[in-house]
Structure 1
Amino acid sequence: MKEYLSEDIIRGKLYDRTIIKKLMSYIMRYRLSALLSISMVFMATLMFLLGPYIFGYAIDHGIVKGDKGMVIKMALLLLGVETFRALLVIVQNYNIQNIGQKVMMDLRMELFSHIQTLPVSFFDKNPVGRLVTRLTNDIAALGELFSAGIIVVIGDVFIIVGIIVTMFLLNVKLALAALCVLPVMFVISIFFGKKIKIAFREIKRKLARINSYLNENITGMKTIQLFNREKKNYETFDSVNKDYLHEQVRYVRYYALFQPALNIMNALSVALILWYGAIRYFSDDLTLGILVVFFAYIQGIFDPIRDIVEKYNIFQGAMASAERVFGLMKESPENDYDKLTLGKGAPLQEVEGRIEFKDVWFAYNDSDYVLKELSFKIDSGQSLALVGATGSGKTSVANVLTRLYEIDRGVILLDNKNIQNIDKTQLRQIVGVISQEIFLFSGTIRDNIS
């Protein structure tokens, strides 16, 4: 069993190009909607940049000069710009959420379809709770990335770049003074980003462990109560739960330090604008309107930076989830199982029912053989009872006959044809098995037997 399934350990680069490329392939299925969203993000960014400039223009050419008509015109223009921007944001958010939900559905269906192709031995070795986590929590994390991550971050980048360019176009010296704190802020972001990355991965891993433990205990509650294991299992769960709490607290601690650090950089930048802007204003090298525009822009540039940090956290969780989801998708399906065209192997036109085992060897784990040199023959219409102690291999005979498990040596014949060469779907329609372990699916009796 692979380690990432047994212990949910995630290795590899944070931004693995292979994973990014695979994730983008799902967005490309809805490329028109994605391009529409990016276009609306770009237009909304232009409207965002235009707002403070209109305000500053109204101050310099309306308020300072006492031109009431200009003030009214600029006020109406500003209202129109903000209204148009609000409409763009509404349509953009709806479109992005729509893309995210569709991508999430596609991922969930593909993963569920693939899980159905995996051999029974895979489910023997992997707890159900972890597999359910892949289909629920991990897919939801990827859905959040698509719906509130990638395209939104693109919009934030547009705003940051647009503000920097506009500030330099308005006044180069004041722009340099205002933005000199950005390198320090980037260093802080990289430092805390690495810490947050580790915490996010551990949170995901330990959440999967909680889900797995809960699934096993709730499923096996009858056995737990029968052997008076309630206290012992409670103590074990308490330990697992505290591990999860520890990782959550560590993440909160990093985030609690990171946000104030950004706020300090924001305040420092505002102070620099106030100091240097006042000097330039008193020397008549800067208008009051431009100074106000800079204050608006510097506040506007830190908001998308904070947003990118939050989306960066989403990215951390989504990348860890993507590694697990795509890792599960890489698991090999049953031998000669094709989930799209179930028609491999030789079909049987008429079945008489002669079964023969010839020197069959089979082990669930390595060389710990359950069946050794097993040979017998059952003619058509003949009945045969296999009698033996628990664990002697009676159920294993039925498992290998239906190819739920593959034998290690020997051959099994059905009407003198090797079952390895018979289509699995047809084989399992021919061989009827009544399991000693009763399992009822949700629904009616008809649903369970049809």
Structure 2
Amino acid sequence: MTRASSVQDVPHRPRQTDLRLFRILIPYAKQNWRLLLTSLVFLIPLALANSAQPIVVGQAVSLAQGEPVMWFLEGRSLLEGIRILILLLVLTLVVQLSLSGVQGYLIQKVGQRITASIRDDLFIHVTSLATRFFDRTPVGRLITRLTSDVDALGDVFSTGAIGVVSDLITMLVLIVVMFTLQWQLAFLLLMFLFPITGLIIYFQQQFRQANYRAREELSALNSTLQENIVGINVVQLFRREQFNAQLFRTINQRYITEVDRTIFYDSAVSATLEWVALAAIGGVLWLGSLLVMRQTLDFGILTSFILFAQRLFDPLRQFAERFTAIQAGLTALERVSDILNEPIEIRDPEGAR
């Protein structure tokens, strides 16, 4: 009655690329295009406010050191200039906090609407399938698709897609501002982005595979549990309690092993980002110190670039935090699409009431 089914026992369609998976969500996103467009409009002022803060701090240092400052600070005393810079810093913080709060609310709202629409369509599709589909599909596996997999889809938009776009715009604005101020330090920081991008892509691929296997083992675990509970009379009649318990422990151990792999790759991304960020700050301090000693760089600009080095890797850190949600959502979307692609063999004739 019950066997230790593994992910190899379940037939799969060819794996879909991330782009094809996102295309599945496009019709649902179009239903909420106004909210999506509003949240995207907020990205540019948020990125500008984030980029302005290191410049304000650097101008404060330059003003205190008696170095050249921007036009609105020229000819002003230290106290008067500091007051202006404090007002500018508070203004950027207010803009950043208020817009990020509104944007976060809109994105979460879109994610919940998309999740609800997919859940409705999935239920209608499943209830229209032929009986033989349910004969070959364990109920526990189907319940996992309809519940936990669908819930993970909302994170693809609310935590993932819009967040990644926001991070890319923030990094692009930071890079443009840095090259405007000092191209040598900006080029140094830009060089640190290439190796970390390659590592993130590698870990993303490994995490995706491990997460897919983990969710398949979770489906097998739910199926085994459902079969034993529904058929408890048969299990007890044939005295299979200990045997089935051992089968359940085997599947549970496989699930734990796959989850441990996802944890490893998730932790590897975060740890790698931290090390590269520290190396980037060290590189800025080394090159910046040489330029300051040669009197080709002001100390205030060096201070700004130390903050830029931290801000430049903040979007990558946030991506690492979204990393798990994005990959889990794409894995869930791939599994849900398998059910949505099941053909409906029996249809009502056109025009029937």
On whether the aligned pair clears a TM of 0.5, the verdict is yes
Bigger mean CA deviation after superposition, 174-183 or 160-169: 174-183
Q: Distance in 1 between matches of 2:83 and 2:194?
A: 40
Q: Distance in 2 between matches of 1:217 and 1:304?
A: 47
Q: Distance in 1 between matches of 2:263 and 2:13?
A: 21
Q: Indicate whether 1:14 and 2:23 are aligned.
A: no
Matched residue SS, 2:32: helix
Q: More strand per residue: 1 or 2?
A: 1
For residue 330 of structure 1, the aligned residue among 324, 338, 341 is 341
For residue 126 of structure 1, the aligned residue among 127, 130, 137 is 137
Distance verdict in 2 for CA 1:265–1:22, change over 3 Å: same
Q: Indicate whether 1:27 and 2:29 are aligned.
A: yes
Q: Indicate whether 1:297 and 2:300 are aligned.
A: no
- Per the TM alignment, residue 23 of structure 1 is displaced from its structure 2 partner at its CA by 1.0
Q: Distance in 2 between matches of 1:100 and 1:342?
A: 35
- Tell me what 1:112 maps to: 123
Q: Which amino acid aligns with 1:228?
A: R
Q: Distance in 1 between matches of 2:306 and 2:346?
A: 65
Query: Quick one: percent identity of the two aligned structures?
Result: 30
- Tell me what 2:202 maps to: 191
Q: Which amino acid aligns with 1:343?
A: A
Matched residue SS, 1:12: coil
Bigger mean CA deviation after superposition, 193-202 or 5-14: 5-14
Bigger mean CA deviation after superposition, 329-338 or 52-61: 329-338
- Tell me what 2:270 maps to: 259
Bigger mean CA deviation after superposition, 269-278 or 52-61: 52-61
- Tell me what 1:343 maps to: 352
Query: Quick check: 2:159–2:326 contact (8 Å CA) kept in 1?
Result: no
Q: Any idea what the Cα deviations from partners look like across 1:39-76, whole Å, max 9, x if unmatched?
A: 11222111111111112122213564761111011112
- Tell me what 1:382 maps to: none
Q: Any idea what the Cα deviations from partners look like across 1:261-283, whole Å, max 9, x if unmatched?
A: 22221111111100110111122
Q: Distance in 2 between matches of 1:88 and 1:63?
A: 34
Distance verdict in 2 for CA 1:285–1:319, change over 3 Å: same
Q: Distance in 1 between matches of 2:64 and 2:301?
A: 13
Higher relative contact order (CA 8 A, sep 6+): 2
- Tell me what 2:179 maps to: 168
Q: Distance in 2 between matches of 1:9 and 1:304?
A: 35
Query: Quick check: 2:178–2:305 contact (8 Å CA) kept in 1?
Result: yes
Q: Which amino acid aligns with 1:60?
A: S
Q: More helix per residue: 1 or 2?
A: 2
Q: Which amino acid aligns with 1:189?
A: I
Q: Any idea what the Cα deviations from partners look like across 1:170-208, whole Å, max 9, x if unmatched?
A: 101111223322222122222222221211111111111
Query: Quick check: 1:153–1:308 contact (8 Å CA) kept in 2?
Result: yes
Matched residue SS, 2:239: coil
Q: Any idea what the Cα deviations from partners look like across 1:337-371, whole Å, max 9, x if unmatched?
A: 37xx7827xxxxxxxxxxxxxxxxxxxxxxxxxxx
Q: Distance in 1 between matches of 2:112 and 2:339?
A: 21
- Write the mapping of 1:24-423 to structure 2, written as runs, cut at 5 A: 24-62=26-64, 64=66, 67-337=78-348, 343=352
- Per the TM alignment, residue 110 of structure 1 is displaced from its structure 2 partner at its CA by 0.4
Q: Distance in 2 between matches of 1:171 and 1:320?
A: 43
Matched residue SS, 2:347: coil
Matched residue SS, 1:149: helix
Distance verdict in 2 for CA 1:241–1:219, change over 3 Å: same
- Per the TM alignment, residue 16 of structure 1 is displaced from its structure 2 partner at its CA by 3.9
Q: Distance in 1 between matches of 2:41 and 2:118?
A: 26
Q: Which amino acid aligns with 1:49?
A: S
Q: Any idea what the Cα deviations from partners look like across 1:269-305, whole Å, max 9, x if unmatched?
A: 1111001101111222111221111111111111211
Q: Which amino acid aligns with 2:228?
A: N
- Per the TM alignment, residue 114 of structure 1 is displaced from its structure 2 partner at its CA by 0.8
Distance verdict in 2 for CA 1:92–1:48, change over 3 Å: same
Unpaired runs of 5+ residues, structure 1, are 345-450
Q: Distance in 1 between matches of 2:113 and 2:258?
A: 31
Bigger mean CA deviation after superposition, 170-179 or 92-101: 170-179
- Per the TM alignment, residue 317 of structure 1 is displaced from its structure 2 partner at its CA by 2.2
Unpaired runs of 5+ residues, structure 2, are 1-6, 68-76
Query: Quick check: 2:145–2:336 contact (8 Å CA) kept in 1?
Result: yes
Query: Quick check: 1:178–1:298 contact (8 Å CA) kept in 2?
Result: yes
Distance verdict in 2 for CA 1:8–1:90, change over 3 Å: farther
Query: Quick check: 2:266–2:323 contact (8 Å CA) kept in 1?
Result: no
Q: Any idea what the Cα deviations from partners look like across 1:223-261, whole Å, max 9, x if unmatched?
A: 222322211111001000000111111222223333222
Bigger radius of gyration: 1
Q: Distance in 2 between matches of 1:216 and 1:207?
A: 14
